[in-house]
Structure 1
Amino acid sequence: MGLDPAPAGHKFGFHSEEGSLLRIVDFPPDETYDQEKLVEFLDSEGVRDKNEPRHFWFHKTESLDYAVVLEGEIVALMDRGETVMHPGDVLVQRATNHSWSNRSGRNCRMLFVLLALNEGEAL
């Protein structure tokens, strides 16, 4: 056992430089987001794609990520292409630009496991 990994006031992180993160996230439908607030947040985290992204959620994590749809439906967007994901579907991405678009009109719940890349490991 170590220190509490998320004490009060802990900054949200997109990856752990010292290991892994497991996160369960609810994605509401796209039309319900305050897109300006989300863009500000992604900027503050230093992960937002600023090269004319085709969706407001476009970002890049410096990790190996496993994304699993638990409930609902979501569209996984990459620099090229997109795919609709349903419960049980898994996407593995490694430090790539990506986004999540919920076009279904209802919430989507996902589980993410983000693994730190080894120092010096090529992206």
Structure 2
Amino acid sequence: MSSLDNYQARVVTTVDGPSGRSTVAFDGPTIHRAATPTFTVADVWQIDSVPPAVTAENTLTAELALDPPDGGVLVRMVSFPPDAEWQGSDAYADAMNAIGGGDSHHADEEIAGLHATDTVDVCTVVEGELYAVLQDSEVLLRVGDSLVQRGTKHAWSNRTDRPATIVATMISATR
């Protein structure tokens, strides 16, 4: 069981046209849920450009993609199993390929799972603990801790025996 099974609802608000009052427009599951041997992904919301209109609709498509659209933002939850369940195999590269991120993966590096995206990501741990691993350092993140990941090569390492979950707001960026 993925720890994302605890996070299934996506509630979207709107303004009711005739009354002008706030209301719930959608209450249901997240749009995308992709389980791979390495992690589980649940996409919550995507917009194609910023700033969006407050009435902008979700632009997620049926196909899961690693990055938000150019100029856009993607909010994603990711659950990582313990490292012992996947390290030493091709599972990470297979998982990156499954979500369209095969070209972001750096298999020639010594760090398992090292990858980079053209995004600025604000990642907050909501369950468990996770190491953010960089090429020359690492930092332990616990529940409530946030990392601002600015397009650098990085990997995630769960050195516990339980899943860890983050919420990542991924903002399209340029180099």
Residue 93 of structure 1 deviates from its aligned partner by 1.4
Say yes or no: does 1:54 pair with 2:107: no
Partner Cα separation in structure 1 for residue 80 and residue 136 of structure 2: 22
AA of the residue aligned to 1:104: T
Give structure 1 stretches of 5+ with no counterpart.
none
Match of 1:12 in 2: 65
- Cα distance in 2 between the residues matched to 1:33 and 1:19: 31
- In the TM superposition, what whole-angstrom CA distance separates every residue of 1:7-57 from its partner, at most 9, and x where no partner exists? 2xx1332333240000011111011127313213435621011332322x1
Give ranges in structure 2 of 5+ residues lacking alignment: 1-55
**Which residue, 50, 56, 78 being the options, matches 1:25?**
78
Matches within 5 A, 1:39-78: 39-42=93-96, 45=101, 46-55=103-112, 57-78=113-134
Contact 1:15 1:61 in 2 (8 A): no
Q: 2:162 corresponds to which residue?
A: 106
C-alpha separation in 2, matches of 1:16 and 1:110: 21
Is residue 36 from structure 1 mapped to residue 90 from structure 2 by the alignment? yes
TM-score under structure 1 length normalisation: 0.82
- Pair 91,115 (structure 1): closer, same or farther in 2 beyond 3 Å: same
CA distance in structure 2 between the aligned counterparts of 1:115 and 1:98, rounded to whole angstroms: 16
Native 8 Å contact 1:74 1:102 kept in 2: yes
Kindly state the Cα deviation for residue 114 of structure 1 after the two structures are TM-superposed.
0.4
Whole-Å separation in 1 of the counterparts to 2:59 and 2:69: 14
How many residue pairs get aligned? The number is: 116
The 3 A distance-change label for structure 1 pair 88 and 3 is: closer
User: % of aligned pairs identical?
Assistant: 27
Higher relative contact order (Cα pairs below 8 Å, separated by 6+ residues): 1
Using structure 2 for the length normalisation, give the TM-score. Answer: 0.60
**1:19 partner letter:** G
Aligned residue identity for 1:87? V
Structure 1 segments of 4+ aligned residues over 6 angstroms from their partners: none
